[in-house]
């Protein structure tokens, strides 16, 4: 497979996981679309490592590989297809590499909401710093962590729920309670337009999850378009 085809396969894998983005891209300048999706696809790789099921050793080895890879990007020595698109960006890739081991530690259920945010704070800070270089504007690191925690809940379910919410309710109630707590802790959306768009769609998924205690179908295209419009204009 050529480098171009390999890169396209990673971009399309992310688009398939986020069909909302086919609506959101109308609000993104065409010249920025590929690098935006490449950046979000890279973060999805790390999210998948956090949410691994079963034996964590392969995922931890993958984290170590990514650490070496990101440090190489500062010297234009990428091996991964996403690096072909992202390594030319001047960003603190080494800081992100240094933060990756915290993802393995964050698989443990937190004691409460703030402990959940604290476990991923170093990673959130690193992502925010790099995103300022990739997308031209730094988001709130707490928003990055909120997205990670929401995605983790919707991906792995009950094992993500904090200890303090595991009393006095069935599993569906615990899932809804954690989804609601995350939504209440979500900071105002900021950062680049593309980050605001993705954050709005993550929040939408989380709210639907909070109502049902499980993932729900996407709303209509018109609803997604309105959500994207509001996020793009800063609402």
In 10 A of CB 105, how many CB atoms?
A: 12
pLDDT in tens, 199-225: 999 999 999 999 988 888 999 999 999
168 pLDDT more than 90: no
Whole-prediction pTM: 0.95
Q: What is the DSSP string of 74-140?
A: TTT---SHHHHHHTTS-S-HHHHHHHTHHHHHTTSPPSSHHHHHHHTHHHHHHHHHHHHHHTSSPPP
Domain ranges of the chain: 3-232
* 85 vs 169 pLDDT, higher one: 85
In the chain, the largest separation of any two C-alpha atoms, in whole Å, equals 55
User: What CATH number labels 3-232?
Assistant: 1.10.600.10
pLDDT in tens, 92-141: 999 999 999 999 999 999 999 999 999 999 999 999 999 999 999 999 99
83 pLDDT more than 80: yes
């Amino acid at each position: 497979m050529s480098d171009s085809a390999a890169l396209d396969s990673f971009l399309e894998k992310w688009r398939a996981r986020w069909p909302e983005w086919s609506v959101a891209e109308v609000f993104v300048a065409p010249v920025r679309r590929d690098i935006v999706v490449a950046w979000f696809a890279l973060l999805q790789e790390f999210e998948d490592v956090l949410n691994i099921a079963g034996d964590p050793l392969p995922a931890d080895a993958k984290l170590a590989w990514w650490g070496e890879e990101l440090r190489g990007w500062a010297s234009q020595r990428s091996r991964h297809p996403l690096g072909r698109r992202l390594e030319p960006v001047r960003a603190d890739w080494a800081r992100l590499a240094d933060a990756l081991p915290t993802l393995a530690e964050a698989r443990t259920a937190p004691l409460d909401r703030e402990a959940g945010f604290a476990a991923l704070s170093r990673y959130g800070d690193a992502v925010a710093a790099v995103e300022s270089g990739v997308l031209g504007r730094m988001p709130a690191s707490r928003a990055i962590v909120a997205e990670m925690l929401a995605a983790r809940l919707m991906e792995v379910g009950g094992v993500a729920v904090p200890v303090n919410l595991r009393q006095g309710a069935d599993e569906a109630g615990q899932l809804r309670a954690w989804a609601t707590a995350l939504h209440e802790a979500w900071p105002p959306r900021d950062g680049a337009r593309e980050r605001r768009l993705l954050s709005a769609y993550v929040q939408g998924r989380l709210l639907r999850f909070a109502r049902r205690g499980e993932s729900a179908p996407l709303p209509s295209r018109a609803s997604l378009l309105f959500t994207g419009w509001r996020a793009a204009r800063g609402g």
